[in-house]
Amino acid sequence: MKKLLLVGCILLTGAVAFASDVEANFADLEATFQVLQAEEKALYEARKQEALDAQEKLNQQRKMYSEVAAKEKVLGANSKSKLNGEQYKELAARYGEIKKELEAEMKANEKVIADFNALSK
């Protein structure tokens, strides 16, 4: 009988210790999960702000692009009919270079926006 009582106490103590370990592990997991969620939210908000900034830049770049393209077209036409045709042609070429730079920057901003939109889905 004493042996049975002793075995029962040992089993009960082991079960309580096991429950405490499980509860401690669960609490650790919950804390880690909360930290991960907070990090995820902060990262999401940072990417969201990047996308908003990229959209604003893109809007400005599109406006500038249309102005550059219009001037490039006018300069190209003037290079054929004006006395300073060669200078107009050179200036049109420089506008064309700016247009290509804008295209690259616009593409980069579009990628930032697309990446965020894919993340949001």
- Rounded to two decimals, what is the model's pTM? 0.71
Question: 12 or 75, which is more confident?
Answer: 75
CATH number of the CATH domain containing 70: 1.10.287.1700
β strands within the chain, DSSP E? none
pLDDT score recorded for residue 98:
96
Beta-carbon contacts of residue 57 (< 8 Å; ≥ 6 apart): 105, 109
Taking only the tens place, the pLDDT of each residue in 97-116 is: 999 999 999 999 999 999 99
Number of structural domains, the chain? 1
The yes-or-no verdict on residue 16 having pLDDT over 80 is no
pLDDT score recorded for residue 15:
53
Q: What is the mean pLDDT of the chain?
A: 86
Which domain, by its residues, includes 25? 2-120
